Structure 1
Amino acid sequence: MWEIIVAFILGIVEGLTEFAPVSSTGHMIIVDDLLLKSHKLFSQEVANTFKIVIQLGSILAVVVLFKSRFVDLLDLKKEKATGERLKLSHIIVGLLPAGVLGLLFEDYIDEHLFSIKTVLVGLVMGAVLMIVADWLQPKTPKTETVDQISYKQALAVGLFQCIALWPGFSRSGSTISGGVLLGMSHRAAADFTFIMAVPIMLGASGLSLLKNWSYFTIDVLPFFVTGFVSAFIFAFVSIRFFLKLINRIKLVPFALYRIALAVVIYFVFF
C-alpha cells in the first residue's frame, strides 16, 4: 500500500512541475531522496523506469489538451485551415538546435551535469532569466497568438531551449522567457513551448522506455500505473490553470518560487 501512495505522490509532483517553469528536476530531487531512496522501495533501475512512465503521463496530458492543434499540425483535418497558422515546419525548426546538441552531448550531460549543485545553479540562473524576460518584455507583444509565430522566432526559441539541457534550468522556463524577449505574448510563448515539448520528450522517453522494458513486471505494474494516471491528471489540471493565468501573472512569481526552492534544496542537502 505504501508503494501506491508513493507512486501517487511522485505522480502529483511530476504532473504539477513538468510543464510549469519551476524545474521538475529540482522537485524530483527532493521527493526522490525522501520517498524512493530513503525507503528503498525498488531497485534504482525500477525507480528510473518509473520516472520515464510518469513523464509519459504528463506528455499525454499535453496531447489531450492540444489535440485539435496536433490534428491541424499533422494535416489530418478534411478541411484545411486557411490564413496565418502554426505549421509542423515551425515545430521542426524550433526542435533542431536542442535536438542536435542533446544528441551530441547526452552522455556528457548525464555523467557530469546531473548533480544537486548543478541543479541549484540552473534553478537560480533560470529564475534570473525569467525576471529579465518580464522586465525587458515589449509593452505591446507583436506576436499575440501561437499562429503568428515566425520561423525566425521558432528558431530563436529553439536556441533558448538549448539552455534547458543544463539540469534545473527548466525547458518551459527557458523557452517561454525566450519567446517573451522575442516579442511574443506569454500565452503564445507558453503554447509554443508545450506543443514543441511533446515530440522531443516523447522521443526521449520512448527510447528510454525501450531500453528499460524488462523492468515492467507484474509486481511493479500497480506502482507504474498509479504514477502514470496521477501524473496525467495533475499535469492536465496544472497546464489548463497555467495557460489561463500566464498572461496576467507572467513569470516573476515562478522565478521567486524557484529561488525559494533552491534555498530549500541547499539546506536539505548541504
Structure 2
Amino acid sequence: MTTRDAVILGMVEGLTEFLPISSTGHLILTVHILGLSHTDFTKSFEISIQLGAIMAIVFLYLKRFLTDLQTWKRILVAFLPTGILGFSLYKFIKGYLIGNDLVVVISLFLGGLVLLFADRWCERYCRIDRVQDMPLRKAFVVGIFQSMAMIPGVSRSGATIIGGMLMGLNRKQSAEFSFLLAVPTMLMATAYDLYKSHSQFSAQEFHLLGLGFLMSFITAILSVKLLLKFISTYNFAPFGIYRILVSFLYSYFFLL
C-alpha cells in the first residue's frame, strides 16, 4: 500500500461511513480498483481508519455527548447487542466475511431494497421527533439492526437508520442516532482490532494508518453535514437505488 492508496481509502471511508451505502463495501471495491491485495494489514487498515470518522462525530456532537444523559442511555442500550456479538464473532468476520465479494454484493442489493421499504414506511409511521423520546426497548431493537452490519456490505449506518425509522424515529433523528451510536461501536471495534494486530505493523504501516485516519476525519465531517442537509429536503430513496446499482456494478467487475 502506498501513500496515495492510504489517502484514497481514507477519503472513501470518511465519505461513506455515515451514508447508508456501506463503507466496507466501498472500501473493498476501492481496494480492488487500486489493485491491492487483501492482506491482514489491508483488512486492519479498513477497520482502523474508522477511528477518523468516529472522531469527526465526537468533534461535531461534543456538547451533546457531554450533556445529553437521555440520549446516552439509548446509545448504551443499543450498543449491547453489537458489543456482545462483535466480540463473539470477531475472528469469523475478519477471517471469512471481510473481502468476500459475493457477501458484499448480496448485502448491497438486499440492503437497498430494505432501505427503500423503510423509507416508504417512515412517511406514514415515523412520529418520534427526538431521540430522547424513543423508548429504551426500541433503542435495543435498533442495536439488533446494527449488529447485522458486521456482515460486509450491509452498512452500519444503513442498518441503524433503517432500524430507527422502523422504530418510529423521523429521518433526521434516525440519521443522528446512527451517528451517535457509531462512536462506542466503532471505537470498540477499532481498538480491539488494533490491540490484536498492532504488534505486526511496521513503522511505515503506522504512517499509512495515521494518514488514512486524517483523511477519514476531514471527509467524514463534510459527509455528515451534507447528509443532514440532503435529508432535510429529500428522503433516503436515492441511497437505496444507488446501493442496488452498485451491487450490479460490483457483480459485473468482480464476480462475472
Fold agreement, TM-score > 0.5: yes
Residue matched to 2:55? 60
State the secondary structure of the residue aligned to 2:168.
coil
Pairs aligned (count): 254
Please tell me whether the aligned partners of residues 36 and 47 of structure 1 are also in contact (alpha carbons under 8 angstroms).
no
Unaligned runs of 5+ in 1: 76-85
Cα-to-partner distance string for 1:209-262 (whole Å, 9 max, x where unaligned) = 122223454333442322111111001110111122224222110011111111
Whichever residue aligns with residue 149 of structure 1, its letter is: M
**TM-score when scaled to structure 1?**
0.86
Please tell me whether the aligned partners of residues 20 and 172 of structure 1 are also in contact (alpha carbons under 8 angstroms).
yes
Displacement after TM superposition at 1:36 (Å): 5.3
Displacement after TM superposition at 1:18 (Å): 1.2
State the secondary structure of the residue aligned to 2:2.
helix
User: For 2:204 and 2:144, how far apart are their aligned partners in 1?
Assistant: 42
Report 1:126-205 matches (<5 A): 126-139=111-124, 141-205=126-190
User: For 2:211 and 2:35, how far apart are their aligned partners in 1?
Assistant: 15
Does residue 69 of the first structure (1) align with residue 64 of the second (2)? yes
Cα-to-partner distance string for 1:57-116 (whole Å, 9 max, x where unaligned) = 11111111111111124x6xxxxxxxxxx3422112111122222233333333443311
The ranges of structure 1 where at least 4 consecutive aligned residues each deviate by more than 4 angstroms after the TM superposition are: none
Unaligned runs of 5+ in 2: none
User: For 1:20 and 1:259, how far apart are their aligned partners in 2?
Assistant: 14
Report 1:58-137 matches (<5 A): 58-73=53-68, 86-114=70-98, 115-137=100-122
- Give identity over the alignment, percent: 37
- Compare 212-221 and 119-128 and name the one that shifted more: 212-221
**TM-score when scaled to structure 2?**
0.90
Larger radius of gyration: 1
Whichever residue aligns with residue 82 of structure 2, its letter is: A
Displacement after TM superposition at 1:140 (Å): 6.4
User: For 2:144 and 2:213, how far apart are their aligned partners in 1?
Assistant: 30
User: For 2:150 and 2:207, how far apart are their aligned partners in 1?
Assistant: 32
State the secondary structure of the residue aligned to 1:139.
helix
Please tell me whether the aligned partners of residues 138 and 183 of structure 1 are also in contact (alpha carbons under 8 angstroms).
no
State the secondary structure of the residue aligned to 1:211.
helix
State the secondary structure of the residue aligned to 1:212.
helix
Q: 1:213 to 1:110 in 2, by over 3 A?
A: closer
User: For 1:264 and 1:232, how far apart are their aligned partners in 2?
Assistant: 28
